[in-house]
Amino acid sequence: MKIQKEGIPIIIIMTLMVAAIICGYFYFFSVFWLISVLFCGGLAIFLYMVIRFFRNPHRIINKVENGVLSPADGKVVNIQEIYEGEYFKDRRMLVSIFMSAHNVHVNSYPIDGTVVYVGYHPGKYLIAKLPKSSTDNENNSVVVKQNEHRVVLFRQIAGFVARRIVCYAQPGMEVKQGDEMGMIKFGSRVDVFLPLDAQVAVQVGDKVRSKKSVLAYF
């Protein structure tokens, strides 16, 4: 299983910390074997969860020429027509994907095209499911343009636990559908803004996968 590069330093530090705690525990407090097993087991589970946060499984990209692939793993929590005021400054169809602690946290490009805009905004760390987190929380917007009629903005949003947005995109980059564009450390939410005439192919409550699930068709 591939581990995303941003997670390697954190995993190394956590592994050393867990090893130090276990060694110290056995040196000073190892009296009851059952308590020792439970204590060490709990630390091992914690370390496993940290490693799992940064997993990046290999997937064959579901290329769909006229489709918009999900840029994130997670659950669709909102679909609505909304005013997008950062880049388009008009009304768009919004599809929001909530990334839980169990999801893969690596994000990908939803369409082929050119990166025409990248905008990072510091902010709060509200619970990502709240609608106002889209603008109030730390967030990063990326716009990919395929042609005049196929332009998609997707926004990485940090949440209550997530405190670090990673983005590889830069204006002028030529990107391919399904290529990796970054991650949100420890999950959170991704908003996708589509043209109003896009045919949305998901419903609230659907589970989607990055590089695989089609959110909409142009």
Tell me the C-alpha to C-alpha distance, in Å, between residue 71 and each of 8, 19, 93, 105, 176. Answer: 22, 36, 16, 10, 12
Is the CA virtual torsion 177, 59, 118, 125 positive or negative?
positive
**DSSP assigned state of 195:** -
Single out the residue of 78, 84, 60 nearest to residue 151, CA to CA.
84
- 188 has catalytic annotation: yes
Per DSSP, what are the bridge partners of residue 78?
A: 96
Options 96, 133, 134, 188, the catalytic residue = 188
The answer to whether residues 184 and 71 touch, using CB atoms and an 8 Å cutoff, is no
Which residues carry out catalysis?
A: 188
